[in-house]
Amino acid sequence: MKIFLKNGDALSLEDGAKCSDAAKAISESLARNAVAAKVNGALCDLSAQLSEGDKLELVTLKDKEGIEVYRHTCAHVLAQAVKNIFPTCKLAIGPVIENGFYYDFEFNTPITQEDFGKIEAEMQKIIKANTPIERFELPRKEAIELMTRFKEKYKVEIINDLPEDSVISFYKQGAFTDLCRGPHLPSTGRIKAFKLTSLAGAYWRGNEKNKMLTRIYGVAFAKKDEMQEYFDMLEEAKKRDHIKLGRELKLFALLPEGKGFPFFLPNGMVLKNILADYWRDLHRKEGYVEIQTPIILTRTLWENSGHWDHYKNNMYTTVIDGEDCAVKPMNCPGGMLVYKLQPHSYKDLPIRMGEMGLVHRHEKSGQLHGLFRVRCFTQDDAHIFMLPEQITDEIKGVVRLTDKIYKQFGFTYKVELSTRPKDSMGTEEEWNAATNALRAALDELGLEYEINEGDGAFYGPKIDFHLKDSIGRTWQCGTIQLDFQMPQRFELEYVGEDGAKHRPIMIHRAIYGSMERFIGILIEHYAGKFPVWLAPVQVKVLPITDRTHDYANKVAEMLRAKGVRVELDERNEKIGYKIREAKLEKVPYVIVVGDAEERDGTVNVNKRGVEEKFSMKAEEFADLVCREDREKVIF
């Protein structure tokens, strides 16, 4: 029979050949490195049988799907090891997560992290045995009988929830069998690097009314040195923790009186305002107008927008004058009302409408984390109303603006195109048109992107930007969402060239995403060592003795007059102590002035990150700082 490879080449194989046979036929190297396969686009085991005309793509650990198969197999090895040590425990689920996996168990006697050593040792024994992993299928009734015989009540519950005519798949490795959709590695011996990392409680199926299970987390990597790099990154991340640095640098506070509602301190407000001013300056140049819409709006508005039906659980509600209202979780419906305040012609479009809007979303207390997950945040929203023929150009304009902003902070990024979710509004035709428009814009810009199936907003597909920071972590920030639905629901109109009324197309977009979250990312990206243009305090002036206080004041005033953010430390402390303290505050420039500096009109400069000190005229130093601020020098 003939099958077809990813590049279109035909490959002849014996009838009944498996994916692993195809790998061997192509090359010994591929046969060694393949861990799974895609047959006609569906991910499967290497043991899957091929048929005439199948399209085959072999998957290795260099592929995203390959490392996920690897990590999922590691979860099954964990489950087997735990069952070997604690035979009375019950198995729940064990999915793949970023960098690793977890498995949920019900234990008769609670375990602790002190048990990880013996569990890992048992996992190593299973891996060393290099046991083949075999898939088999059973009808639903027999599957229930099997899991009942094994006394695995959670597996029985999962099977019972499947359709009556389902064929259920299992995976067997030696004496251990687990319910699983798969696929898996060909054998346990293919696992090279893993480590168990933590324990947590987890309600069965995420429902707090169900039993609390024990979740064991682990990480797994294709190579040991990759795992070591990961743990090195975690250690570096601890040093950069934005909650710790935010407290030390007096940027923000998290107080029990406002859980999930951060307090911005003077230094934090300086940083927040710099980001807002930069955003406003760029958007003015790009032809945006700025608006502000109310924080509380009526229920009828949120019903019209679709949020009441699709997002109500995340909204704060209240009653005003006997009418149901909600605190806005998003800015877009207010933007619709602003558009409708006056008639529009096709000549007016596109209208680019920006809003630094404060939104509130109800997050569970256990999900709150610093500035990364809060209950209120400022979203740098913009809504673009346009003609159908303007879609591609407008999306390209937003992408270019997003690229400019991210590069200004030293970020690289990857792009994802997210398609229609299950819970969505609109027709298939509208969704296809919107998705194709986003795809066309990305293709015309020559940007590489991944497809994220089913992760679009409920009203339209979207482009998401994932930033990569200075230690290699990724953060989802910017988004571009193309929306055919809201203009219809709000009956937005413009008068076309033909004199008739038409419906505009709309883009929702944010670049920072959440100002609060973006600030948290910046703190960790720079480890609190902000470049001069972002630093809340750019220069600290330290007089050596009381005699030079007047000169220090004169220098500080000169710097302030030029727009430099400066602090003067006149405390009666030793100069070495004051320098060390200023360095802990991560101020970009610390200048020391004594009798010699006063005599020569100079300053002695300590530049952050540079061992050598240097002297220069005070005015020249001011010009240096102003230039770095003006040019927004990153490093």
Active-site residue numbers?
332, 361, 379, 381, 383, 462, 508
Q: Name the CA radius of gyration of the chain, rounded.
A: 30
Where b means 16+ CB within 10 Å and e means fewer, 221-248 reads: bbeeebbeebeeeeeebeebbbbebbee
From residue 287, how far is each of 55, 280, 302, 349 by CA, in Å?
Answer: 48, 11, 29, 11
**Residue 70 and residue 81 in contact, taking contact as beta carbons nearer than 8 Å:** no
Are the C-beta atoms of 532 and 565 separated by less than 8 Å?
Answer: no
Q: How many CB atoms lie within 10 A of CB 564?
A: 19
Which own/partner pairs from 269-278 qualify as long-range (CB within 8 Å, at least 24 positions apart)?
A: 270/536, 270/565, 271/519, 271/522, 271/530, 271/534, 271/536, 272/378, 272/515, 272/519, 274/533, 274/534, 275/512, 275/515, 275/518, 275/519, 275/534, 276/356, 276/515, 278/405, 278/408, 278/632
Q: Based on the number of CB atoms within 10 Å of its own CB, is 30 exposed (0-12), middle (13-18) or buried (19 or more)?
A: middle
CB 69 within 8 A of CB 183: yes
SS3 37: strand
The residue count of the chain comes to: 635
Tokens in use for 527?
């480890």
Alpha helices in 218-293 (DSSP H): 224-239, 242-248, 266-285
105 neighbors 78 (Cβ within 8 angstroms): no
Q: Residue 502 belongs to what H/E stretch? A: strand 501-502
| Dihedral (Cα; 251, 254, 258, 262), 10-degree rounding | 40
Other CB atoms within a 10 A radius of the CB of residue 538 amount to 24
Q: What is the DSSP letter of 380?
A: E
**Hey, what are 168's tokens?**
């259920």
Residue 49 DSSP class: B
Separation of alpha carbons 94 and 103, rounded Å: 4
CA distance 496 to 486: 19
**Of 314, 357, 292, whose CA–CA distance to 458 is shortest?**
314
Strand partners, 212: 203
Report the distance separating Cα 431 and Cα 437, nearest Å.
10
User: How far apart (Å, rounded) are the C-alpha atoms in residues 274 and 270?
Assistant: 6
3-state helix, strand, coil in the chain (%, to 5): 40, 30, 30
| Phi, psi of 446, deg, nearest 5 | 70, 25
HEC sequence for 527-596: CCCCCCCCCCCCEEEEECCHHHHHHHHHHHHHHHHCCCCEEECCCCCCHHHHHHHHHHCCCCEEEEECHH
Q: What is d(CA 339, CA 351) in angstroms, rounded to the nearest whole number?
A: 9
Q: Measured between alpha carbons, how far is 402 from 250 in angstroms, rounded to an integer?
A: 29
